[in-house]
Copies of this chain bind each other. A is one copy, B any other.
Amino acid sequence: MAIHLKAVLLIADGLGGRPTDYYGKTCLEAAHTPNIDELAKRGVTGLLDPIKPGVRPGSDTAHLSIFGYNPEKVYTGRGVFEALGIGMNVKEGDVCFRTNFATVDEKLNVLDRRAGRITEGAKELEKALQNLKPSQPDVKVFFKASTEHRGALVLRGKGLSDEITDADPHKTGVKMVYAKPLVSNDSAMRTAELVNEIVKQSYDILKNVSLNRKREEEGKPPANILLLRGASIKTEIPSLKELYGVKGVAIAGGALYIGIAKALGLETKKAEGTTGGADSKIINKAKLAVKELRDGKDFVFIHLKGADSCAHDHDAEAKIKYIQKVDEVVGFLIENLDWEETHLVFTGDHTTPIVYGDHVSDPVPIVFVGPNVTADDVEEFNEKSVLKGGLGRISGRVVPILFGYCNWLKKYGS
């Protein structure tokens, strides 16, 4: 019988670039990456359109598509994943929001959408907001603060809708803007009413919290209202375990990625010393991944955020430097994975070029390595070298292809 195979998905967020990144080269071309190039030497390379050609992906839709899910069917917005990612319990049919603590005056003019990027007292505000009580008694409200002004709110009840606009003016110096139904059905109208009631209650509760009186005394903007945006309803998403029988773990730091992993039924772990910033000890993610596989996991998803952040900041040198840190991660994996039984795929979730500083639809290089992979002749890994890759150009579905090499797919037909 075949040995039991293992799988690793290594995503460097925003990995792809353009020739305008750095003196006629992409950052990936410019970086010194002997280990990543070693993957290209050993494996099969090509181009990945995270969703499909000519679609500009968000990180959320891209990851869903890479995991083999059709975002048009399962994606309703980022809120669900953010709520899951900060540790909230989200059930099918729940409507989730991303929230901001903000500052309003007594006439509910919005003065600061982030309450001066408040850094302290989130737990006190969160505790106070446990008293949110909608007048519709069959609906439950859950709120959790995350970092700084950020948080998430979950509404649970029958017949709620995410087809409503934001309760957030998205700018300052204007009157508070309330949620409106986007369609004229009872669910949407009822949910919009609920949201607006909650926003008003949040003001009544938060204005009296002692933290805010103290902030006002200190001349700081009080965190005296909750803005709600990006309503999204939790759909049914079959887990990777249900689909493939796989016991997997995600090693990620960002709430969004943790949330996506949870939505797909993966266990989630953080590696020590990882911060999401340029100083993050991402090598610890590789160490944890190797340990998890040795401890019996079938599948590890490692998410590395930094390349995308550097590109959003238009900082080519930082992105190049971060890619060289990713190369060390790859080096550790090459050294420490059991290559008789492990398949690994390395790619980005999208291209984030330096000049544009945001996601674009250009495809991103990808490489599959492992005992069942027929290798091509490509010996470097970048946007140009993989144009000759043997994988061709694929649209999403990276994880099903990876699991295919591991013999974990169910037969379709007979």
Which residues on A are within 8 Å of B, measured CB to CB? 2, 18-20, 26, 44, 46-47, 51-62, 68, 71, 75, 77-78, 230, 353, 355-356, 358-362, 371-377, 383-384, 387-395, 397, 399-401, 403-405, 407, 409-414
Contacts and interface: CB of A to CB of B under 8 A. Distances in A.
Please list the 9 inter-chain residue pairs (A to B) with the smallest Cβ-Cβ separation, ordered nearest first. A58-B413, A387-B390, A54-B400, A61-B413, A361-B404, A392-B393, A56-B409, A54-B397, A58-B414
B393 A391 contact: yes
B78 A414 contact: yes
A409 B356 contact: no
Contacts of A20: 371-372
A387 B44 contact: yes
B59 A412 contact: no
B68 A411 contact: no
A372 B414 contact: no
29 contacts: A18-B372, A19-B371, A19-B373, A20-B371, A47-B392, A53-B397, A53-B401, A54-B68, A54-B399, A54-B404, A54-B409, A56-B412, A61-B412, A61-B413, A75-B413, A77-B414, A78-B414, A230-B414, A356-B407, A359-B411, A360-B404, A360-B407, A361-B400, A375-B384, A376-B387, A377-B387, A384-B390, A387-B391, A392-B393
A252 B399 CA distance: 36
Tell me which of A391, A395, A412 has the highest count of chain B C-beta atoms within 10 A of its own C-beta.
A412
A399 B404 CA distance: 25
Contact of A60 (B60, B399, B413): B413
- Number of chain copies forming the complex: 2
Contact of A404 (B56, B358, B411): B56
Given A61-B412, A77-B414, 20 more contacts: A19-B373, A20-B372, A53-B397, A54-B397, A55-B409, A56-B409, A57-B411, A57-B412, A58-B413, A59-B413, A361-B400, A361-B401, A362-B372, A362-B404, A362-B405, A374-B384, A377-B387, A388-B390, A393-B393, A393-B394
- Chain B CB within 10 A, most for which of A19, A47, A54, A404: A54
